[in-house]
A = this chain, B = another copy of it.
Amino acid sequence: MQQGDMTPVAWPSDSLTRVPFGLYCNRDQYALEQERIFNGPTWNYLCLAAELPRPGDYLVSGVGEASVIVARAPAGELNAFVNRCAHRGSLLCLKRRGHAENITCVYHGWSYDLAGQLTGVSFERGVKRQGGMPAEFKRSEHNLRRLRIAEFCGLVFGSFDDGASELESYLGPDIAARIRRVLTKPVKVLGRTTQMLPNNWKLYLENVKDSYHASILHLFFTTFEINRLTQKGAIIIDDSGGHHVSYSVADQAADNSAYRQQALRSNKDGYRLEDSSVVEAVDEFGDGITMQILTVFPGFVLQQHLNSIAVRQLLPRGVDRSELVWTILGFEDDDHVMTERRLKQANLVGPAGYISMEDGAVGGFVQRAVRGLEEDSGVLMMGGSDARSQEFRTTEASVRGFWKKYRSLMGA
């Protein structure tokens, strides 16, 4: 794609409180996002360091629509490079994960080391002094396109852009602290699942950042008092606006009258579980925080619901389609009881999750509703017009923060 003939969607004003629906369905906008956001000065979650324990381990991840290989080199360091041969562009790794000394392309047998450097070219000198590569061919000019790579608390991020600041300063101190709070020790992968979302990637990220919907769309939050807007909690937003944390603290005494006044669908006091083990939690971090949800722009989510911990990677798959890769976690030192607890609480999240099921569909509701009327805009006025941290969650500040960061990168 050439930037030349791209016309991005126009914004009605500089305000963050009006978001044009065209952003969710315009093809030029989507193409520009690949260049300016995913291939731009951002850090994109790739995998867990724990998924590549030994030198030679590799896996296939993605940044935007690009396929990316992450590999642990013999010396032990991690490398990331595009999953595309430097010769004619074939995919190099055809499996999601594996172990290898080096990476050989099936098409013409070019091989690369685990740092993405070209180490072998079939028939480079030809056969019987005929054919082969000309003198001016230099292997060093045909290494795989590399990404910068950085690790934080066992999370591995990559960036295509040398202009991106160091990962930890990209995250900022508050977000970094909130990641540290959860990822305190070596993790263990309990499971994986991928959810295909029928909507533009931004609709999902907005949804995760949207502390306003949580207790209204999701009944479990309120009924079981895992999280309500009347509970203590807060929103933390970094200076760029792109990252956020929302959390709440257990608070049995919370005044429910606010809900009664609202008479919300989601407030059915009579509702009880027959087997409540699915919500029987222990306060493993010792701070009474029952729910913490955290995002790193543009596509990473770290989630703690009670003892259910997961990371999510968001990958755009077209203007109206996204892929959400879930990795369900425990800690290496979990005993059988703790693992069983996490597995049962995992019923709360994921594509069939009691409290996240709706999030898989609601983005599609918007995607379908904007058809034919893309010129209109949505509203983001809850909690004001800025994108700053707040002590309450009846706000759309984190969503405005997303657009603040988005516009700065898109130059709009």
| Chain A interface (Cβ < 8 Å from any Cβ of B) | 1-2, 4-5, 7, 9-10, 19, 21-22, 26, 28, 34, 38-39, 63-67, 82-91, 94, 104, 106-109, 122-123, 126-128, 130-134, 136-137, 142, 145, 206, 212-213, 216-217, 229-230, 258, 262, 264-266, 358, 362, 365-366, 368-376, 378-385, 390-395
Contact = CB atoms under 8 A, between A and B. Distances in A.
The winner among A9, A21, A392 for most chain B CB atoms within 10 A is A392
Which 5 residue pairs of A and B lie closest in terms of their CB atoms, listed nearest first?
Answer: A131-B394, A65-B372, A66-B372, A130-B392, A84-B369
11 contacts: A1-B22, A2-B22, A64-B372, A66-B372, A67-B371, A88-B380, A91-B366, A122-B212, A122-B264, A131-B382, A145-B373
Contacts of A34: 372
A217 B106 contact: yes
A150 to B, nearest CB: 20
Nearest to A316: B372
B369 A217 contact: no
A325 B213 CA distance: 35
A67 B132 CA distance: 42
Contacts of A213: 107-108
B109 A378 contact: no
A371 B66 contact: yes
B89 A131 contact: no
Contacts of A130: 390-392, 394
Nearest to A235: B131
B2 A126 contact: no
Interface centre among A34, A213, A370 (most CB of B within 10 A): A213
Given A366-B89, A379-B86, A126 B67 contact: no
Nearest to A67: B369
Given A142-B379, A262-B123, A371-B65, A108 B230 contact: no
Nearest to A160: B373
Contact of A392 (B21, B127, B212, B375): B127
Given A1-B374, A369-B91, A381 B217 contact: no
B391 A132 contact: no
Nearest to A106: B217
Given A213-B107, A217-B106, A381-B134, A127 B230 contact: yes
Given A82-B373, A88-B379, A106-B217, 9 more contacts: A34-B372, A63-B372, A65-B372, A67-B368, A107-B213, A122-B264, A127-B392, A131-B390, A131-B392
A142 B366 CA distance: 17
Contacts of A142: 379
A395 to B, nearest CB: 5
Nearest to A35: B375
Contacts of A134: 381, 384-385
B362 A106 contact: yes
Contacts of A381: 133-134, 136-137
